[in-house]
């Protein structure tokens, strides 16, 4: 039987050392999305409902393509970080680790597919 206080058990174990970094990543990405989403809406709006050829011509300009790529990239990274926090809070053990790995793979695959599609249309 161990007669250790909770403080004595925690001494020397250190902190996770990633909470503040994760917090700031979420704040920075949310501020980035605060700027990028309206830009995306206003750049994508005029092209909405146009034909494929008009869309290709529209995204041949660098500004709409760059805004769309940045919005997809930052949006999926923000989603990945937020969903990771959700999994860490509610799913424990090995299932949580597998869920985080699966979610990371899914987010990176979706972001890569979207960015590749925009680059393919733009070029």
Residues 2-56 have pLDDT tens digits of 677 776 666 665 565 666 788 888 999 999 999 999 999 999 888 888 898 998 8
- pLDDT tens-digit profile of 76-97? 999 999 999 999 889 989 999 9
Q: Which of 118, 46, 34, 123 is nearest to 74 (CA)?
A: 34
Q: How far apart are CA 68 and CA 58, in angstroms?
A: 12
- Mean pLDDT in the chain? 88
> What local confidence, expressed as pLDDT, does residue 6 receive?
73
Higher pLDDT, 122 or 38: 38
Domain presence at residue 12? no
Nearest-angstrom CA–CA distance, 83 and 91: 11
Residues 6+ apart with CB under 8 A from 69: 115, 118, 119
**The CATH number of the domain where 60 resides is what?**
1.20.1300
4 part of a folded domain: no
Does residue 100 carry a pLDDT above 70? yes
Share of the chain above pLDDT 90, in %: 59
Does the pLDDT at position 1 exceed 60?
no
Task: Quickly state the pLDDT bin for 74 (edges 50, 70, 90).
Answer: very high
CB 107 within 8 A of CB 73: no
Whether 108 is covered by a domain: the verdict is yes
The kind and range of the H/E element at 104 are helix 94-122
pLDDT of residue 15: 61
Report yes or no on 101 lying in a domain. Answer: yes
Residue 16, pLDDT score:
57
- Asked if the structure places residue 18 within a domain, the reply is no
Question: How many residues belong to the chain?
Answer: 123
40: containing domain: 23-122
Domain count, the chain: 1
In a domain, 1, yes or no: no
């Amino acid at each position: 039987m161990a007669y250790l206080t909770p403080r004595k058990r925690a001494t020397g174990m250190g902190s996770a050392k990633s909470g503040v970094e994760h917090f700031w990543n979420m704040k920075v990405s949310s501020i980035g999305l605060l700027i990028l989403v309206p830009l995306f809406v206003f750049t994508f709006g005029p092209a909405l409902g146009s034909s494929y050829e008009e869309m290709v011509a529209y995204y041949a300009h660098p500004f709409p393509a760059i805004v769309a790529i940045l919005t997809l990239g930052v949006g999926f990274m923000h989603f990945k970080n937020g969903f990771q926090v959700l999994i860490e809070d509610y799913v424990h053990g090995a299932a949580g680790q597998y869920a985080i790995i699966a979610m990371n793979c899914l987010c990176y695959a979706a972001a890569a597919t979207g960015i590749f599609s925009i680059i393919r249309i733009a070029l």
